Amino acid sequence: MFGMGATDYSPGEAAKRAARESFAVAISTVQPLIGDENAQEEARRLAFQSWASTHGFIAIKPHAAGMSEAEWEEMVLGSVRQLVRGRGID
C-alpha cells in the first residue's frame, strides 16, 4: 500500500509539465493565506501538505461506506482548515 509504485515508471515531459503547472496553481491558491508574498517556501509547504492530505482522502474514499457526499466534503475541507490553522494562519 505504501510502496513507491512501479519502479520502472518514468513520466514523460508532458506529464512533468502538467504536474509543475498544477502545483503552481496550488501554491498561488495558498499564497494569500500566508500573507507574505516573499514566503514562497512556506506557500510551497502548505500547498504540498494540502495536496497530500486531499490525495489521501481520495485514496480512501471508496472505503467510506455510509458517508454522504456532503459529510465527505466537510471532512476533507476540515482537514485542510486544520493544516492552515496549525501553521498559525487564520
Domain boundaries, the chain: 13-86
* pLDDT for 3 beyond 70: no
- Whether residue 46 contacts residue 68, with contact meaning beta carbons closer than 8 Å, is answered with no
> Sorting pLDDT into bands at 50, 70 and 90, what band is 21?
very high
Task: Give the whole-angstrom CA distance, residue 3 versus residue 25.
Answer: 27
* Predicted model pTM: 0.72
